[in-house]
Amino acid sequence: MKRYKKESYKTKDEWLKHRGIGGSDVATILGYSKWQTIDDLYSRLALKKFKKEKQNDRMQEGTKAEPLIRSLYVIEHSECKVISPPKSSYWLFRSLDNSLITCSPDGFIKDKNNVLYGLEIKDIELIRTEDKEIWGSNELPQQYFLQLLQYLIVFNDMQGVCLHARLKYYVWKDGEYLYDYCVERDYWAFRNEVIKEIEYVKRKEIDFIENNVLKKKRPKLIIKI
């Protein structure tokens, strides 16, 4: 039995106000986020303080690229059915076990046996050698792996998630970083292989909800060394 519900919002502002802990917020709770502090997340959920989201040029480029990358994925994976987000609204899926645990997928995949999988799309610029080595291996950066686990927490009937990454490599030339080449790669997380990780992340989310958000108790700053 499905333990989640679907919601739809006409504007992004409405969606932002109704979302709970989303996929990108999991890294914040566990101290791996480069873009948000645990205090920011607490303020949004407990105090309803919403920061106006400012998209830089890189973020805008990623937003525009997502539907194009997904369209190519559909063409190249004709053996399965890909379900895209609505074009004229914003969808949000909420766990029935805890209303503050949410997810907004970049898409769904159904195989020939109608088995459900998630689809997360990333448009990544690789400049640093360290980042090139991480993405070139079979391992995902931790914050993105945690994002995939959120799919499996919210969608209890989902058997796995594919992170489809468009990796753009840059090289230093003539005093600046220039585009070199691009590859696309799939990274998978299957439920039966990450059961312990799913349970661990879920416990951390619930602990944050129950002991910080609901009690309006500001969390301690998390510092990863």
CA separation, residue 140 to residues 38, 41, 43, 120, 131 (Å): 22, 23, 29, 13, 10
Helix (H, G, I), strand (E, B) or coil at 153: helix
What pLDDT, on the 0 to 100 scale, is given for residue 221? 73
- CA neighbours within 13 Å on the CB side: how many for 125? 12
pTM beyond 0.95, yes or no: no
Q: How many Cβ atoms are within 10 Å of 64's Cβ, its own excluded? A: 10
State residue 224's pLDDT score: 59
pLDDT at position 53, please? 67
Q: What pLDDT, on a 0 to 100 scale, did the predictor assign at position 180?
A: 95
Render 30-52 in DSSP notation, one character per residue: TT--SS--HHHHHHHHHS---PP
- Those residues of the chain that have pLDDT short of 70 are 52-57, 59, 222-225
**Torsion (CA) 53, 59, 60, 61 in degrees, nearest 10:** -170
Residue 122 φ/ψ, nearest 5 degrees: -130, 135
DSSP reduced 3-state for 95: strand
Q: What is the 3-state secondary structure (H, E, C) of 160-210?
A: EEEEEEEEEEEEEECCEEEEEEEEEEEEEEEHHHCHHHHHHHHHHHHHHHH
CATH of 4-213, one of 3.90.320.10, 3.90.110.10, 1.10.10.10, 3.40.190.10: 3.90.320.10
What pLDDT score was predicted for residue 56? 67
